[in-house]
Amino acid sequence: MKLPDLPFTITDWSQLPATGHAGETGHALWRTQDIDGVRVRMVEYSPGYLADHWCDKGHILLVLEGELDTDLQDGRSFRLTAGMSYRVSDFGDAAHRSATRTGARLFIVD
């Protein structure tokens, strides 16, 4: 990801419309900005959320609230809590899937 040349900008995430995305179980609400090919999101997962797919897109993800369980397709699993983050590239073998028992609020750049 290369950030484009852009002016200083403030975002009030509470003012952006939320879009719903069903998981295998539970749901996600996304508030999204697309900035010259860079997607920036505030995401809320409901308690009991399980993604409905394996994702192979690169992200930088920060857990703001709650707990996030991330499984990699190779069998590794990680639990992230508030203040923890991960990064994964578009390249390689790190297909991943998210779940949460308690719910989570995330900030994601991809």
What pLDDT score does 95 carry?
A: 92
CA distances from 7 to 35, 62, 72 (A): 11, 23, 36
Collect all residues with Cβ–Cβ distance below 8 Å to 59 and sequence separation of at least 6: 86, 87, 88, 108, 109, 110
Q: How far is it, in rounded angstroms, from Cα 87 to Cα 108?
A: 10
Q: Is pLDDT at 102 greater than 70 in this prediction? A: yes
What pLDDT score does 1 carry?
A: 62
Give the pLDDT band of residue 100 (cuts 50, 70, 90): very high
Q: How far is it, in rounded angstroms, from Cα 44 to Cα 95?
A: 21
Query: Going from the N-terminus, what domains does the chain have, and what CATH number goes with each?
Result: 19-109 (2.60.120.10)
Q: Hey, what are 69's tokens?
A: 């369980």
